[in-house]
Structure formats: C-alpha cells, structure tokens
Structure 1
C-alpha cells in the first residue's frame, strides 16, 4: 500500500498487529543490518477479532503502555493491515492506459464494475502484462478498508507516533524472500505465514502475486501457557495431541489450495514448486516436517535466506514479518 504522510529522517518502527500479539522491530534505516531493537506484547482475548478492534479502551491502553516502555514516541511507523481485511483480485483494464492512468480508472470504476466488500478503500495494484498485442491489460488489485486502516492510524497518531506506510503482509514477506531469489523466475512459490491465530497463503509466479487467502486457525488460548519476560513472549503448548490434530486439518486446507492452483487456475500446466514457511507458531519446525511428509514439496524457512546473515543483532524467527516490513521504501 502507499505512503500515508511524509517520512522523516529518524528511527523507523515496523509494526505487526495480530489478534494475539503486538510485535515490532525498530531500525535506523530501511535495511536489515540497522536493527536497533525488537519487542512483543500479548494481546488479551477479546480485544481484537480478525484484525478489527473490538475493545477500543483496552487496545488504546496496551498500545500506550508499549509506546512508553519501548520509547516509540515521535518515531515513524510502518504497519501491516489486518490479513483478513485484504481484498485481492485480478482484473482487466483498457490496454491504452498508462500506469498512472490505471489508478484513476480504478477509482472511477470502484462501486460500478469493480465491487469491493467495503465502502471506502485504500488500494494498490501490480501490472501483470503490458504487451502491445493484447487487447487488455491485466492487473492484480489489492484493497483494504479505509475505515479500519484509518482507525489504526488514529491510534498511532494519538500516541504521538508518525504512521508513514501501511502494507500487506504477504507482499512484505516476499520482499525479504526476493533479496536472495531474484533470479529464480521459473519458481512457483507458495508462501505460508503460519501464525497461532491464522494462516496466510499466497502464491507467486515470476515474482508476481497470483493467489492470496487468509485462513482462520483453530486456536484456543486454553491450550497454551503464555508468559511474558521483559519484551518477549513464550508460548508453551499444554495440549499437544489436540493442537497437532488441528494442524493436520490445516494441512488439508493447504493441499486443497495447491490442487486448486494446479488444476483449476492453471489447467494442470503449472504447479507449486516450493513452499516458503514463516510465522510465529511455536511448533513451526514440526509444521515444516509434517508439510514435507504430507505434501512432498520442498519447504524452506527463513534459515535459508542469506540476507539474514546481514542482520546486525539476533532476531527471533517470529519477528521475520516486521523485519521484512523495514525494507519497504516510502
């Protein structure tokens, strides 16, 4: 998504807000070798649901405490919009439109030929083809609800932070992945962000997003013992057998997406060739093993990324998404 206001020359904070956690990485510049610190804080049940703020007072109190403890006032903020609110669709536009004119065309057509599941939206797009012989241009349209996005912006601003960018999680993470894989044009990469409360599934073909889906994860806080020490959280599973059964159900959903992409989207001519697995699920290593055993596709994690060797301090794997957001230029 685009810039909200002008960026200043100061430390930048990359925020990830999930239903169960608030997490951030502070950097001096938009580069992984300038990390200053990282923090996370548990969000109690009932404060957020699928990214929507249900308990405004509690969210404001939690965010205020984090801003004070983490010394975030007057810093520039990049944040990720809630995963479940993202609208994603391939659409056709007239072939004679320039990239600049496409934005105006989308603005005009929203509500008539382009229907969104919300009234007002912030949007961005990717141009899929620009071939002179084609009668149309194909674009990938991303949109998020303006009202929800503005609500987060308002909370940041009320606490004297400076929101500069809102971005989409799958695109942010792929930006990090691309640092090492620019030359792998032929790969069909499925990116899985496997968190405690949800799974983001996205597929990239020739480094362009062609599929995106957010799946709510079966997640009961009663199955986990959570503790917070200073600015880090530890989740310990109390119901291993139950949680592993829920993971197996999620593997079935992933397999369905793989089959859908191969047979319905591509008529058997293309298929997922690699899975890139990230996320904050405490059983992420088990998820990797079970994925490889059940699906039979090579599964890579952030450990395979050479760019992470440039990170100047140790950063736990669950911070990979806010770390990737720091690369977003304004």
Structure 2
C-alpha cells in the first residue's frame, strides 16, 4: 500500500467514499462547508452473485460497472474515491525501533528488514505502509519508538484499484476498514481516560 495510501480528503475535486461488500456496496458523498462536514448523498446497491468469492473480488469489471451505474442512477458525480480493504485481508504489527533513528532510517529498516520478519507472505507479494506512534521505554530502560506496520497482499490491493478503474474513479484513499472506523469515532474515544479500556464491535454481514 505504500505510495498508494493518501490522507483523507487529500485534494480538491469531487470525491466519494465507497464500501465494497459481498452482499452490497455502500456509497457516501460528503460536502464541506467551512470546517463542517455534512452528508450530501448516501445510497447502496445489491451485489449479484459471481462478483465475490469467499469475500474476495473475482470480477472487478462487473463490480466496476455496478458502481458506475449506481453513481449515475443517483446523479453522483465523482472523479476519485476513498475506500478500504477488510481487516481480515490485512496484517497489522507494532514494531519497536530505537528512538534515535531518523525518518529515513526508520523507512529503510521497516521496508527492507523488519517487514520480512513480521509478514506471513514474501515481501514482494505485499503492499506496505507504516506510521510512527509514541515513544516508549522498554524493560531495559531504552527509549523506543513504536511503529505500526500495515500490509495487504498486492492481489487484494490490485483488485480494488482495478475495480474502480472500471468504474471511472481513481483511488485516492485505500486503507484498512478498522482504521477508518477508529478515525471516525476518535473524538468520542478522547472522552475516556488513558487507563480505561474501550471495546469497539463492528458488526457486518460477513465478518465481525
């Protein structure tokens, strides 16, 4: 996913958020007025059989055409899309690294060394992204920086990109669904103290 992931709302233009599921697709378009975001459009379409198999896209062209038709039927104009892959298709790991490493050294260490140790697939078969998090002190009293590694197999990433190409949309945000949920409710989570535990349950048709 490295170089394929962008920040949410990264550029001007007409964008739309689409969730792809084996039963249906959900489409939402937001409108920004000042600092306030409002829901401009919300629609969905049932997904016919033969497009997904065991939760994975096997017919990107037909799915892309379904998206294109649904957008047109609901008079939604968009040039780019924000979307996410399911958590079950991803590998997420927390990796402690020496705190004194600069950004270039962290990048080199994660992509060329550490990733291969934490992934169940060959490095060349996955798209990878990472994010530096907090500084921590380990049991030996050494300062470490926690780095979150996120990876998805390229065949999964490519199936999403190909689907939206058939739909006439360029992918500007491609992330992991659980991260999207957490970012959506981050303000509510800040109401809890750091020592409190919060349980989040995302109930879906094919996975929870």
| TM-score (ref. length: structure 2) | 0.79
Note closer, same or farther for the CA distance 1:97–1:116 as it changes in structure 2 (3 Å cut): farther
Residue 37 (str. 1) matches residue 46 (str. 2): no
Match of residue 127, structure 1, among 129, 133, 153: 133
Query: Aligned with 1:189: secondary structure?
Result: coil
Structure 1, unaligned runs of 5 or more: 200-330
Residue 194 (str. 1) matches residue 203 (str. 2): yes
Between 1:123-132 and 1:80-89, the stretch displaced more is 123-132
Which has a greater percent of strand?
2
Residue 82 (str. 1) matches residue 90 (str. 2): no
Structure 2, unaligned runs of 5 or more: none
Runs of 4 or more consecutive aligned structure 1 residues displaced over 6 Å after TM superposition:
none
Deviation at 1:19, TM superposition (A): 1.5
- What's the counterpart of residue 70 of structure 2? 66
Note closer, same or farther for the CA distance 1:165–1:50 as it changes in structure 2 (3 Å cut): farther
Match of residue 17, structure 1, among 9, 14, 20: 20
Query: Aligned with 1:10: secondary structure?
Result: coil
Higher relative contact order (CA 8 A, sep 6+): 2
Note closer, same or farther for the CA distance 1:140–1:134 as it changes in structure 2 (3 Å cut): same
What pairs up with 1:137-176 in 2 under 5 angstroms?
A: 137-176=145-184
Give the Cα separation in 2 of the matches to 1:135 and 1:11. Answer: 44
Give the Cα separation in 2 of the matches to 1:121 and 1:183. Answer: 34
Query: Aligned with 2:179: secondary structure?
Result: helix
Which has a greater percent of helix?
1
Deviation at 1:99, TM superposition (A): 4.4
Deviation at 1:151, TM superposition (A): 2.6
| TM-score (ref. length: structure 1) | 0.52
For residues 84-127 of structure 1, the C-alpha deviation after alignment (integer angstroms, 9 at most, x for no partner) is 21101222323322345322221111564333436121322352
**Cα RMSD (Å) of the superposition?**
3.0
Query: Aligned with 2:28: secondary structure?
Result: strand
- Native 8 Å contact 2:64 2:166 kept in 1: no
